[in-house]
Structure 1
């Protein structure tokens, strides 16, 4: 399913924040996935950066300022829940991804809503699955909870849905 970033992949990190260092480490299926600032990585955030970052673009995730079919990978860690219109972001992400491109999204689980009142939306396993599928993505969702592997699949998914803090979605553009 998930692959680590290829050396020549063109990547977009949406919602990177204002003080990103030159290297960002993402965890994809418990593996490190380094993204290096350089010609292959572009960082986008609505705020002005505090550090000088090569390839930083100030922009809106709901109106991505890029041509279609521009990126092999898009990363959006804890972005979707803050957007006024997350559906606009998903449509636009699909537009700028190449066919077979991957959108990696991390969101808090709906059970964690009380942790951050700035969240405009809450998501769960089922809402995310239909949200991405309805926008033309193949979807793989991870609910990281350690004991799930020792339980029957349906019970494990239910326990994960209730007790995991974060949900990871890997969506592949059809």
Structure 2
């Protein structure tokens, strides 16, 4: 069985497992949330009344074997999430995302250089996608700090980048950084920069995935939680 066919089978099986979770787990049973799976990424749709309900869904789904990341377009308390798609180029991850790029395309709503401060207020957005972006920046920590600034408490930064051992990481001459899951660990904590809690971190044979939420000052991560993701 080829790699793509195997991944499709895995996605189909994982979608069934997630659907069963919504039926049988009393913590999420009855919620108006559905899931699709593509390449190990679980895409949540629907609506919930409270943020903690979505947090519970994300936490339970993220524990399932084979899940690389959990992305969502879930309405919370009647409000659609505000989502930035950094460096989106010609294609946003979701059609309703706010595209941000230094080059004007039909997908771009805000023309801005992601290597400079983002043109958004503090705590203005719920989700940020940085898909195939960090590997193009010599120093991506200022952008990560900007994402921390503009995310609301409980918001999520979604990172997707080539894994350093795969040919895709070095085949593109515009890639100037190599990433691993341990790189995400370094992003989460460091002197004189904002901290992050990893909701989910993983990789497949070609890609590093991370879902990160801003940590409040003084927050201490759970060592058992970190052991799932990092050496």
Q: TM-score, normalised on structure 1?
A: 0.72
Q: Determine the structure 2 residue equivalent to 1:165.
A: 206
Q: Determine the structure 2 residue equivalent to 1:90.
A: 144
Q: Determine the structure 2 residue equivalent to 1:152.
A: none
Quote how far apart the aligned CAs of 1:36 are. 3.0
- The reply to whether residue 78 of structure 1 matches residue 132 of structure 2 is yes
Task: Tell me the secondary structure at the aligned position of residue 128 of structure 1.
Answer: helix
**CA-to-aligned-CA distance 1:109-168 (integer Å, 9 cap, x gap):** 111332212111111111221212333111121213xxxxxxxxxxxxxxxxxxx11011
Distance 1:128 1:170 in 2: 10
Aligned partners of 1:11 and 1:73 also within 8 Å: yes
- The reply to whether residue 143 of structure 1 matches residue 197 of structure 2 is no
Aligned partners of 1:10 and 1:71 also within 8 Å: yes
Q: Determine the structure 2 residue equivalent to 1:16.
A: 88
Task: Tell me the secondary structure at the aligned position of residue 127 of structure 1.
Answer: helix
Q: CA RMSD for the aligned pairs?
A: 1.7
Consecutive unaligned residues in structure 2, runs of 5 or more: 1-58, 60-69, 216-231
Task: Say which one has the larger Rg.
Answer: 2
Size of the alignment, in residue pairs?
136
Which structure has more RCO (C-alpha within 8 Å, separation ≥ 6)? 1
Q: 1:106 aligns with which of 160, 170, 177?
A: 160
Consecutive unaligned residues in structure 1, runs of 5 or more: 26-34, 145-163
Aligned partners of 1:90 and 1:132 also within 8 Å: no
Distance 1:138 1:122 in 2: 22
Quote how far apart the aligned CAs of 1:100 are. 1.0
Aligned partners of 1:109 and 1:166 also within 8 Å: yes
Q: Determine the structure 2 residue equivalent to 1:56.
A: 109
**CA-to-aligned-CA distance 1:22-54 (integer Å, 9 cap, x gap):** xx44xxxxxxxxx233xxx311001121x3x4x
Shift of the 46–10 alpha-carbon distance from structure 1 to 2, 3 Å rule, reads same
